[in-house]
A and B are shown apart, each in its own frame.
Chain A
């Protein structure tokens, strides 16, 4: 009777099993984990699975884009069980990877230098000059560090005999180290005792080596502090999450090509305070996209002139431009000889056996053994999926033989490696599998970083797990999963950590105005959209409450929006009721889809949940998330979590055409949205460092809130006819109902209400409070920038007209609306009050417009130089 945990765990004769040495014989380094699992209850197992899912959802960890407008977000998948390697095995991997990284670095130095390897015949010209990753304009450049390769990764697999093989080299900007870090932070908390007692190596040293060595080699001028940035292709990239995660962790600003500029032969970051020189670019942007002037001209992602800055030795690229030439299946066949040639020693770890068909004997071999081999492109530009010889029929074989003979140098034949297998927890979706393990094929991506003392290999890595169908394909894109990788130590492990306590406690690493203008812009819009979401949610909750109270019958009868607003409503309800008023407020903000035959209920649901309705709550939230996505490196994880939760609340309620969401449930959904908004604004107000970036976020929030409140109050005043009816609505929509009750302890009256929502500078929801704060922050911003050498008067920020409008508003006396004028008839009193209301409404609109002008002015002054896209001219 097999052990219960193993009852579904299939051993396969053709594969190495990482955990089991015999039928039920555990390898010693798995013993502790297995025992821990063995004493776990089904509930504990489920809880672990749930913890992983929850953390990933909250962190918004994705493989491709989180908030891509096309909606293509795919959560990262992580198995709760780590993959474990014992110390002695790791020592071999560590040495082999350091050797290989060193070798590849030397190969690059030759290819971008004297090219002796090609002249001597050690390496075919075809594999270099024929590879579109070989960038001729970079030939002859010499990196300030002396290294072309700074960060290297290798994909490893273990064959049935237990040996490790290199499957592929990653030399551009290897991805995955950030995911490895994220996996570690989750899995180490699942098994804290085990993690400590087994002495698992920590990962932080690797990242510290990266920080230190880049800073050490930065080509600084005397007196300069090294400034390192992480260059990303942007939020559309499939690993953008990881890039922002790493940028935060390493404390490097995450920048896009448009944030950088080359002046003379130096690279600069465009910041709010002007240009700041960049010494090192840690690159995740593919090198051929890096400079539209000298490399690919069809890309707007790069930095014109970057190659010239590299040539001048004024910027260190990690990795060097052109390092992509190493990513080639063809090169694998030549590395053993190159190792002898360049290092004078054999390769410590073999690569999977490869034959480059450009050599006649190799071509013959590949054709003869086609059935046992995989055909791969020699160059990544070929976009050819690997072809498994064993899957080809006679016609397919003939076709491939002809193709190989026709262009032999474009193909490589590779031996098939049967991947090893390791235990994973079945998906939580499977009901019967609570306490059983299943076997999946795995491979490990390992990382190395160069330091002045040589290469350092990360003791761990990203273990990738095949999906259940594709046994030999490790791909996150094809339904695979991942694992944390535990390298056990025989000695006490380094406890160094780059994290400040709990991850996400500190928020912004850098202070001062050295924030990229584009980041400031995104923070500004994040502020505006977040505030707009809150306002929309409040309006929609108010309207849906009114509908549920008074309009059940009307909704069932399918009363259209027009009818409710217009004469139809009067027929139904006598006077325009609270619902009509509420709908009016919603329409004031363009929240509702156009009035047509649909019921009010339907329109409210769409306004809340349908991203495709312009102006809807859901579409505004999407914009907020998109803005946040682009400044993820500046938001704390907790801040990000609260935004994610908000997004989730709506996503779970999204209506599909077939079954409209329930209007009865809408108010409670919106309650949850409002609660999440409060926590979001809490993070914005209290958690972030008060630097220039934060100030833009708050400016955005204050401007938006001022605009929302002043419009609501002005709308109320213009419609009230001097009568206090609807004051309740005004209080609720201004989020002041609670404050009013606390202060006056009675049913609301008009004048105290107006005082509270417009003039009371102690009330954080009043119009005057927003204006006050805006002026205060603008002054601080002005002072900050002046301190860093950007002198500009208040006029430059568009402050005077705004201050004037606010002054006029504050000078308004509520006595103008006072009802109880001595001696007046009721009619006279009402007329006077009416005139007062109209005057206050006018002043509010003036303030509203002035804040809009202020917003435009801020955009012009700080953001516009981000805009003009680079264009290529050729004559």
Chain B
């Protein structure tokens, strides 16, 4: 599938901001199944300094700084890219027994392979995802003894989708996973954090994937939830196979509709725009995402 993505973020400040620094995760990271043809990042006003780099999790990151006072910030990110089917979908499998995966990740005082070493980064508590007994308890019915790990995770995803209400008004950036679990509602970010917390509480490795979802429904399918803003889902590590992506907001495995932007331990590592401003008074924020199918097929 070939897409055109336009992601605009606009802040207006009631009083001028004197200095500001922002960290942007708006350029798609290179992954084997995505080909980026064209991308542009337009920033208004022109930043005092601007630097492009790769962050510690391998995501492209742009750092911008404003040393002069300004009353608005508009960031426009535009891409044309092609998404192919995920390679791991070619040979459907339920994966190994989940306890085996957990044991393979445990410490054995012996050298780690690259894949296992990489998975360790996504296995423990992170600033946005606590590891709690409540989460393990919630996951338990899906992770019966001896159940294959992908099958179990799919069941966990299904239950989150069924038992939690999608409600953009209910939560905000920073709502804790435990609150989400108690209140049974949230948005894609909350559901992703919840599922990650559940998997990590079981000793599995799971990461947060930030990206976009195509806006128009596939023929014969309903409009997907979360398509007018940036989207988030979960990837779980399975030895020998790799990272399998689950979208608990839509109860499906990620496919060509899911465009990957960045991944990290949780939202905090990859938030599209994060900034610290001095001054500014009140502000208004407007975010718009449109994902347009340019052509279907590969």
| A305, CB-defined interface residue at 8 Å | yes
Contacts of B277 in A (CB 8 A): 870-871, 873
Which residues from 848 to 875 on chain A have a C-beta closer than 8 Å to any C-beta of chain B? 865, 868-875
Cβ-defined contact, B123 with A125, below 8 A: yes
- Give the residue among A130, A132, A294, A865 with the most B Cβ atoms within 10 A: A294
Which A100-154 residues sit within 8 Å CB-CB of chain B? 115, 118-122, 124-126, 129-130, 132, 136-137, 139-140
Contact of A873 among B19, B109, B283 (CB under 8 A): B283
Contacts of A124 in B (CB 8 A): 107
Does A125 lie within 8 Å of B21, measured CB to CB?
no
B248 proximity list for chain A (CB < 8 A): none
Does A53 lie at the interface of the complex (its beta carbon under 8 Å from any beta carbon of B)?
A: no
A261 at the interface (CB under 8 A from B): yes
Interface residue A55 (Cβ < 8 Å from any Cβ of B):
no
A263 to B21, CA, bound (A): 10
Binds A, one of B91-99, B163-171, B265-273: B265-273
Q: Digit string of A227-264 for contact with B (CB within 8 Å is 1, else 0)?
A: 00000000000000000000000000000000001111
Contact of A358 with B by CB under 8 A: yes
Q: Is B56 an interface residue (CB 8 A)?
A: yes
- Assess the A875–B67 pair: CB atoms within 8 A: no
Q: Does A513 contact B (CB under 8 A)?
A: no
Q: Give the contacts of A468-496 with B (CB-CB under 8 A).
A: none
Contact between B275 and A125 (Cβ–Cβ < 8 Å)?
A: no
- Name which of B110-118, B154-162, B175-183 contacts chain A: B110-118
Count chain B CB atoms within 10 A of each CB in A125, A140, A261 and give the residue with the most: A125
**B275-A873 in contact (CB<8A):** yes
Closest to A298 in B: B174
Q: When the two chains form their complex, are residues A871 and B107 in contact, meaning their CB atoms are under 8 A apart? A: no
Question: Are A873 and B274 interface neighbours, CB within 8 A?
Answer: yes
Which residue of A119, A140, A873, A874 is within 8 Å of B117 (Cβ)? Answer: A119
Contacting residues, chain B, for A296 (C-beta < 8 A): 127
What is the CA–CA distance of A869 and B272 in the complex, to the nearest angstrom?
23
What B residues does A308 contact at CB under 8 A?
A: 21, 63
Indicate whether B278 reaches chain A with its CB closer than 8 angstroms: yes
Inside 8 A of A294's CB, which chain B residues have their CB?
Answer: 23
Residues B21 and A129 in contact, CB atoms below 8 Å apart: no
Residues of chain B with a CB closer than 8 A to A426's CB: none
Contact indicator A868/B18 (Cβ below 8 Å): yes
Q: How far is the CA of A120 from the CA of B109 in the complex (A)?
A: 8
Task: Report yes or no: B133 in contact with A119, Cβ–Cβ below 8 A.
Answer: no
A126 to B205 CA separation, bound complex (whole angstroms) = 12
Which chain B residues numbered 132 to 160 have a C-beta less than 8 Å away from chain A?
133
Chain B residues with a Cβ closer than 8 Å to the other chain, count: 47
Which chain A residue has the least Cβ–Cβ distance from B272? A875
| A868–B275 CA distance with the chains assembled, in angstroms | 15
Instruction: List residues of chain A with CB within 8 A of the CB of B120.
Output: 118, 125, 129
A118 lies within 8 A of B23 (CB): no
Q: Which residues of B contact A873 (CB under 8 A)?
A: 11, 22, 273-277, 283, 285
Q: Are A872 and B274 CB-contacts (below 8 A) given A119-B111, A132-B125, A263-B67?
A: yes
A residues near B23, Cβ cutoff 8 Å:
293-294
In the complex, which residues of chain A have a beta carbon less than 8 angstroms from the beta carbon of B127? 132, 296
**A121 and B124 contact, CB distance less than 8 A:** no
Which of these, A358, A406, A872, contacts B275 with CB under 8 Å?
Answer: A872
Contacts of B117 in A (CB 8 A): 115, 118-119, 125
Give the distance in Å from the alpha carbon of A293 to the alpha carbon of B62 in the complex.
13
- Does A359 sit within 8 A of B, measured CB to CB? yes
A576 beta carbon closer than 8 Å to chain B: no
Number of interface residues of A (CB under 8 A): 41
Distance, CA A873 to CA B286, complexed state (A): 12
Set of chain A residues within 8 Å of B108, measured between Cβ atoms: 121
CB atoms of A297 and B63 under 8 A apart? no
B298 at the interface (CB under 8 A from A): no
Which chain B residue shows the least CB distance to A356?
B107
Tell yes or no: B85 within 8 A of A by CB. no
Given A297-B268, A873-B275, A875-B272, decide whether A129 and B121 contact each other with a Cβ distance below 8 A: yes
A176 at the interface (CB under 8 A from B): no
Contact indicator A137/B56 (Cβ below 8 Å): yes
B241 within 8 A of A: no
- Enumerate chain A residues within 8 angstroms of B271, measured Cβ to Cβ: 874-875
A118 in contact with B112 given A871-B276, A875-B287 (CB within 8 Å): yes
A808 nearest CB across to chain B (Å) = 38
Please name all residues of chain A whose beta carbon is closer than 8 Å to the beta carbon of B268 when the two chains form the complex: 297
Who on chain A is nearest to B57 by CB? A136
A359: shortest Cβ distance to chain B, in Å? 6
CA distance A225 to B23 in the complex (A): 32
Are A869 and B278 in contact, with the CB atoms below 8 A? yes
Which residues does chain A contribute within 8 Å of B265, judged by CB atoms?
136
Bound Cα distance A201, B22 (Å): 51
Interface flag for B256 (CB, 8 Å): no
Cβ-based interface call for A304 (8 A): yes
B65 CB–A CB distance under 8 Å: yes
B239 interface residue (CB < 8 Å to A):
no
The listed residue with most B CB atoms (<10 A of its CB), out of A130, A261, A409, is A130
Q: Assuming the A-B contacts A129-B121, A136-B56, A359-B109, are A868 and B269 also in contact, with contact meaning beta carbons closer than 8 angstroms in the complex?
A: no
Does A60 lie at the interface of the complex (its beta carbon under 8 Å from any beta carbon of B)?
no
Whether B274 pairs with A297 at a CB distance below 8 angstroms is yes
B residues 15-30 in Cβ contact with A at 8 Å: 18-19, 21-23
Contact B112 A119 (CB under 8 A): yes
Q: Is the CB of A293 within 8 A of B276?
A: yes
Which of A122, A140, A409, A874 lies in contact with B273, CB distance below 8 A? Answer: A874
Assembly CA distance A865 to B107 (angstroms): 51
Identify A261's interface contact among B19, B107, B272, B280, CB under 8 A.
B19
Quick check: is B39 within 8 A (CB to CB) of the other chain? Answer: no
Q: Name the distance in Å between A362's Cβ and chain B's nearest Cβ.
A: 10
Is B9's CB within 8 Å of the partner chain A? yes
CA distance A865 to B18 in the complex (A): 9
- In the complex, the answer to whether A130 meets B276 with C-beta atoms within 8 Å is no
Complex Cα distance, B265 from A142, in Å, reads 23
The answer to whether B278 touches A870 (Cβ under 8 A) is: yes
From A120, A262, A358, give the contact of B21 (CB < 8 A): A262
Smallest beta-carbon distance B130→chain A, Å: 10
Contact with B along A261-276 (1 / 0, CB 8 A): 1111000000000000
When distances are taken between beta carbons in the complex, the residues of chain B under 8 Å from A359 are 107, 109
Q: Does A836 contact B (CB under 8 A)?
A: no
Asked if B221 is at the interface of the complex by the 8 Å CB criterion, the answer is no
B173 at the interface (CB under 8 A from A): yes
Please tell me which one of the listed residues A262, A305, A872, A875 contacts residue B285 in the complex, with CB atoms under 8 A apart: A875
Contacts of B63 in A (CB 8 A): 308
Q: List 12 A-B contacts (CB under 8 A).
A: A118-B117, A118-B120, A119-B111, A125-B123, A132-B125, A136-B57, A137-B55, A868-B18, A870-B277, A873-B11, A874-B271, A874-B274
Q: Report which B residues bind A (CB closer than 8 A).
A: 9, 11, 18-19, 21-23, 48-49, 55-57, 63, 65, 67, 106-112, 117, 120-121, 123-125, 127, 133, 173, 265, 268-269, 271-280, 283, 285, 287
3 closest A-B pairs by beta carbon, nearest first, are A130-B124, A125-B120, A304-B276
A residues neighboring B (CB under 8 Å)? 115, 118-122, 124-126, 129-130, 132, 136-137, 139-140, 261-264, 292-294, 296-297, 304-305, 308, 358-359, 406, 409, 865, 868-875
Apart from A137-B55, A409-B107, 10 more pairs, CB < 8 Å = A121-B111, A125-B123, A125-B124, A130-B124, A293-B275, A297-B268, A308-B63, A873-B285, A875-B271, A875-B272
